[in-house]
Structure 1
Amino acid sequence: MAEHHEELAHLFLEGEEDEALSYIDELLNSYSRFYVFEQVITQSMYYIGDLWEKNKISVADEHLATAVCDFVLSKLKADTSGVPARKQRKHKAILFGVEKEQHYLGMKMVAETFQDYGWRVRYLGPNLTLEHSLAQIKKYKPDVIGLSAALSYRLPTVKGLIQQFEKLEWRPLIMVGGRMASKFDLEEFESDRVMVIKGLPHLHQWFKEGREGVINETS
C-alpha cells in the first residue's frame, strides 16, 4: 500500500483536484494539520521532484502536479480563514524564492506558519531578482527575510543574497529554506544572522522555543 505522500502525489499527477482535496480532508480527521503539511503535502512534492529528476515524469506532469497542489493549499487556507488567529505581533517577515527558482509551494506553507504565529507576512512569490527583493525589503524592513531554493546550483545566488542582506542596518534574521536546505549541508551559511531551516518541524521548533525574541536583541 502506498504511503500517504505517494498516494497524494499520484492524485496531483493525475490532475485530480477534488480527489486530492478530499484525501487531505480525510487525513485531517486523523492527523494534525502540521503532519499533513510536512509529512504528506511537502513530501509528495519532493517525491514528484525526484520523479522529474529521474526522467520518470515530464515537465508538463510536474507543472500539472504543482497547479493541483496550489489549488489544494488555497482551499485549505480558505477553509481556515474564519478561525481566530493568534494575537497579532509586531514582527514582520518577507518570504520569496530566489531568481530563476520556480518552486513556491513550500514557501506558501512557511508563510501560513508565520501567520499562524501572529506575524505580519509579505509573500513575494518565486523567481525574484536581488533588485526587486531588496527594494521591497528596504521599504518593509522585516525582522526576518526568508529565502527559498530547491536545487544545488542556486547556491551561488543564495550566497550572494545573504551577503547583500547582511549589510542591512537593522540587522534582520535571514532564513534559508526549501528543498535545497533539506538535501544539502549548508552549515557554511549559518551565523548569528543566518539560519538554515530544514523543514516545517524546524521552523515550528524555533517558534515554540520563543527564539523570535532574539531578533529584538540583535536588531
Structure 2
Amino acid sequence: MEPEHFAELLIGGQAEACWAKIEAFVGAGANSLFIFDRVLTPAMRYIGSLWEHNVITVADEHVASGLCDLLISRYEALLGKAPANGRRAMLLCVEGETHALGLKMVAALFREQGWEARFYGADLPLEYALASALSWKPDAIGLSVSIVYHLPRLRDYVDAFGRLPREPAILLGGRLTEPYLAHRRAAERVVPTPGLLELSEWLAADTERGARRTSRELSGR
C-alpha cells in the first residue's frame, strides 16, 4: 500500500479503516518494524510535506497525528506484554521539541523486547529529565530532536546524561542525528539511531549482549 493512501485515511480521521489496514498487515505476517517504519512513518512524513506546501491545514495535520497516536497505542495493546528483561529505558523529546510520535513508536519497540520503557513525550525540560533519570536509573535514554534550532539544547542533554553515575546508553534519534554527530565529538555511550531500523538493530545487539552476560554468570557459578 502506498503511504499516500494511508495518509489520506489518517487525514480523513478514518480510524477503523486505518486499523483494518494494520490488522491486514499483521495477518499477513508483518512485524512491528514494518508497521512503524513502512506504514505509519512514511504516511506521517507525507502528511508533513502536504502541510509544508499548504495542501492541507494545521487542523488536518492534527487530526492525522491524533489518529496515528491512537493507532500506535492500539497496536501495542495487540502485541500484549513481553517477558521482562530487567532493563529500563526513558524516552523523551528535548525542551521545545513537539514531534513525539516517532519516539512513541520507539517506546513500543523497547517494550516488545521486554524493556520497561517510560515515554515522557514532547518538550521535557532538562532539569526534570535529569531528576527522573537520577531517581529511576535507566539503562538507556532515548532523545529525539527534529528542528535545527533545538540542537544547542540537545548538547546540554547529552552532556548532562553523560555524567550520570550509572552510565546509561544515550540514543539519539531524529533526522538531525547525523549532522549533530558530524559536528561534535560525542561521548562513547552516545548511539546514533536515526531511524527505527537502526534502533531495532541496537536492541537486537543489546539482547545478544545480555544473553552472553547471563551465560558467563551461569558458567561462573
User: Fold conserved (TM > 0.5)?
Assistant: yes
2:58 is aligned with 1:62 = no
Task: State the partner residue of 1:13.
Answer: 11
- d(CA) in 1 for partners of 2:19 and 2:176? 27
Task: State the partner residue of 2:70.
Answer: 71
Task: State the partner residue of 1:97.
Answer: 93
* Residues 10-159 of structure 1 aligned to structure 2 (within 5 Å): 10-33=8-31, 34-81=33-80, 85-86=82-83, 88-159=84-155
The alpha carbon displacement at 1:207 in A equals 2.2
C-alpha deviations, 1:165-216, integer Å up to 9, x for none? Answer: 11212211111113433xx5333354411111021111111122337849x9
Is contact 2:104-2:119 (8 Å) kept? Answer: yes
Query: What is the aligned residue count?
Result: 208
Which of 172, 180, 183 is the matching residue for 1:186?
Answer: 180
- The structure having more radius of gyration, on CA atoms, is 2
Task: State the partner residue of 1:173.
Answer: 169
The change in CA–CA distance for 1:151 and 1:212 in structure 2 (over 3 A counts) is: farther
- d(CA) in 1 for partners of 2:44 and 2:124? 21
The change in CA–CA distance for 1:203 and 1:27 in structure 2 (over 3 A counts) is: same
The change in CA–CA distance for 1:134 and 1:116 in structure 2 (over 3 A counts) is: same
TM-score (norm 2): 0.86
The alpha carbon displacement at 1:59 in A equals 1.5
Give the unaligned 5+ runs of structure 1: none
- d(CA) in 2 for partners of 1:175 and 1:24? 28
- More displaced stretch, 150-159 vs 25-34: 25-34
RMSD of equivalent CA atoms: 2.0
- More displaced stretch, 186-195 vs 43-52: 186-195
The alpha carbon displacement at 1:31 in A equals 4.7
The change in CA–CA distance for 1:64 and 1:22 in structure 2 (over 3 A counts) is: same
- d(CA) in 1 for partners of 2:30 and 2:108? 15
C-alpha deviations, 1:90-116, integer Å up to 9, x for none? Answer: 221100111121111111111111111
* Counterpart AA for 2:48: G
SS at match of 1:146: strand
SS at match of 1:209: helix
* Counterpart AA for 1:73: I
Q: Percent identity?
A: 36
Is contact 1:186-1:196 (8 Å) kept? Answer: no
Give the unaligned 5+ runs of structure 2: 214-221
The alpha carbon displacement at 1:13 in A equals 0.8
- d(CA) in 1 for partners of 2:200 and 2:190? 17
> Which ranges of 4 or more aligned residues in structure 1 deviate by more than 3 Å?
188-191, 210-214
